[in-house]
């Protein structure tokens, strides 16, 4: 059997939820589980968060398919469609599955008018305070709320929300970039507050702002990455921010060999040995979701020691420097990321963020759910 294995520690997930609650006391938690729970497995993640003490209050997904999966596995909490609906055919699902919908664009108001929902709806009205992605401009908001009141059945409810463009860097304010990011977020908060929407529940903060901008906590927080122990901060890993890594990606060595000075390793011969050395070949590659951009020198944990990759990452295989790790033989455990080795370090080596790596695990990797305390 192929050794590539993703272990998902559900105790760590629940601990991170509690840590989020401690950080933003009093706020309700919309747990973001889009993209298959950031690659950790939608159903398992949502069930653990729903059964936890001080459970998540609602779940956020990006598609009706994901919402259906959540209902089918017994999730009764509110589920928010983070981009709302985009065609009339969505409405029967929204009604049957009892989904909350983000409304962010005039085209959705037109769809709502056509759909004429008879039952009350729960709408998350999204305002673009500076992200320039989804959301109504502040100047449109009063008019949009008036229209919604006319279209929607009596008893409908609203949350008003916005999303930060640079919340990842507002934590430490050590660098000019962080100062700039903090200023950008402060501007977005001011634009939001200028609308004086205090009559509605509000939601602004994703992970970065939960940590870095307490003034943005409001009634609903929207943690994603932090629940999984992930950081997007440029110089702090999840565990340095007080969160526990949830995923461990591991495999085993399936070959070892001694190569001579001048030998080139792997496709393209990108690594050339400068001396006689021992290398190991691990059963994992970009076909499993290990990033090919982490070729040549990315950190890797092998037989209990920190080492690095040599040469290019292939589809099924990865070569590792075994210098000084003489006990690492065929069968030795290799951790690509996890509690032993922060996924943020691999992300940095690959020029991306941790979220992309956990989301990118492919279907041939086996998943195992654990409860390690």
Ligand X SMILES: *Cc1c(COP(=O)(O)O)cnc(C)c1O
Residues taking part in catalysis: 34, 267
Q: Does 188 bind ligand X (CB under 6 A)?
A: no
User: How many other C-beta atoms are found inside a 10 Å radius of the C-beta of residue 350?
Assistant: 18
Q: Bin 331: left if φ > 0, else alpha if -120 < ψ < 50, else beta.
A: left
Q: What does residue 146 show for φ and ψ, rounded to 5 degrees?
A: -60, -45
- 295 part of the interface to ligand X, by CB under 6 A: no
Q: How many CB atoms lie within 10 A of CB 256?
A: 17
CB-CB neighbours of 3 under 10 Å: 17
How many residues of this chain bind ligand X (CB under 6 A)? 11
Encoding tokens for residue 89?
């055919």
Binds ligand X by CB under 6 A, chosen from 207, 295, 319, 354 = 207
Quick one: which segment of 3-11, 218-226, 275-283, 284-292 binds ligand X (CB under 6 A)?
A: 218-226
Give whichever of 34 and 218 is closer to ligand X, judged by the CB atom. Answer: 34
By the rule CB under 6 A, 105 interacts with ligand X: no
Q: How far apart are CA 108 and CA 255, in angstroms?
A: 56
Binding flag, residue 212, ligand X (CB under 6 A) = no
In 260-304 the beta strands, taken as DSSP E runs, fall at 264-265, 271-272, 277-282, 299-302
Nearest-approach distance from CB 34 to ligand X, in angstroms = 6
The nearer residue to ligand X, 212 or 280, going by C-beta atoms, is 212
Map the footprint of ligand X across residues 28-57, applying CB under 6 A. Answer: 32, 34
Kindly tell me which of 223 and 338 has the beta carbon lying closer to ligand X.
223
Whole-angstrom distance, CA of residue 37 vs CA of residue 52: 16
**Closer by beta carbon to ligand X, 34 or else 40:** 34
For the window 219-258, what string marks contact with ligand X as x by the rule CB under 6 A? ---xxxx---------------------------------
| Minimum distance of ligand X from residue 164's CB (angstroms) | 9
Number of CB atoms found within 10 A of residue 15's CB: 18
Tokens 């590659």 belong to: 285
Instruction: Determine the Cα–Cα distance for residues 157 and 323; give it in Å rounded to an integer.
Output: 62
Residue 142: what are its φ and ψ, rounded to 5°?
Answer: -60, -45
* Least distance in angstroms from the C-beta of 284 to ligand X: 25
- Among the listed ranges 66-74, 144-152, 206-214, 277-285, the one in contact with ligand X (CB under 6 A) is 206-214
Q: Rounded to 5 degrees, what are φ and ψ at 188?
A: -65, -40
Output 35 or 300, the one with its CB closest to ligand X: 35
- Stated as kind and residue range, the H or E segment containing 82 is none
Q: d(Cα 337, Cα 349) in Å, to the nearest integer?
A: 12
**Contact map string, positions 71 to 90, toward ligand X, x by CB under 6 A:** -----------x--------
Site string for ligand X, 130-169 (x = CB under 6 A): ---------------------------------x------
Contact between 58 and ligand X by CB under 6 A: the answer reads: no
β-bridge pairing 366-370 and 5-9: parallel
Segment near ligand X (CB under 6 A); pick from 205-213, 247-255, 296-304, 357-365: 205-213
Binding stretches for ligand X (CB under 6 A) = 32, 34, 82, 163, 206-208, 222-225
């Amino acid at each position: 059997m192929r050794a590539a294995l993703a272990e998902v520690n559900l105790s760590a997930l629940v601990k991170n939820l509690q840590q989020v609650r401690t950080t933003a006391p009093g706020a309700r938690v919309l747990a973001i589980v889009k993209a298959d729970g950031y690659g950790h497995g939608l159903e398992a993640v949502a069930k653990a968060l729903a059964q936890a003490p001080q459970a998540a209050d609602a779940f956020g997904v990006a598609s009706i398919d994901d919402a259906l999966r959540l209902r089918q596995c017994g999730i009764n909490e509110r589920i928010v469609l983070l981009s709302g609906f985009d065609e009339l055919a969505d409405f029967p699902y929204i009604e049957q599955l009892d989904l909350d919908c983000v409304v962010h664009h005039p085209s959705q108001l037109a769809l709502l008018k056509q759909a004429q929902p008879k039952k009350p709806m729960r709408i998350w009205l999204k305002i673009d305070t500076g992200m320039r992605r989804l959301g109504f401009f502040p100047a449109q908001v009063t008019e949009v709320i008036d229209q919604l009141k006319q279209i929607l059945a009596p008893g409908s409810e609203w949350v008003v929300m916005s999303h930060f463009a640079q919340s990842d860097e507002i934590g430490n304010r050590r660098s000019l970039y962080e100062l700039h990011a903090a200023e950008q977020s402060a501007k977005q908060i001011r634009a939001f507050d200028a609308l004086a929407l205090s009559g509605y529940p509000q939601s602004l903060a994703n992970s970065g702002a939960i940590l870095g901008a307490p003034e943005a906590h409001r009634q609903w927080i929207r943690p994603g990455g932090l629940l999984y122990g992930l950081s997007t901060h440029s110089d702090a890993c999840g565990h340095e921010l007080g969160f526990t890594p949830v995923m461990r990606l591991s495999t085993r060595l399936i070959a070892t060999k001694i190569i001579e000075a001048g030998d080139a390793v792997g496709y393209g011969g990108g690594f050339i040995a400068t001396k006689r050395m021992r290398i190991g070949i691990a059963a994992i590659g970009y076909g499993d979701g290990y990033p090919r951009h982490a070729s040549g020198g990315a950190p890797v944990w092998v037989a209990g020691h920190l080492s690095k990759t040599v040469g290019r990452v292939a589809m099924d295989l990865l070569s590792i420097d075994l210098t000084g790790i003489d006990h690492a033989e065929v069968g030795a455990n290799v951790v690509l990321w996890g509690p032993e080795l922060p996924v943020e370090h691999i992300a940095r080596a690959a020029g991306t963020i941790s979220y992309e790596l956990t989301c990118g695990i492919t279907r041939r990797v086996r998943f195992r759910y654990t409860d390690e305390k």
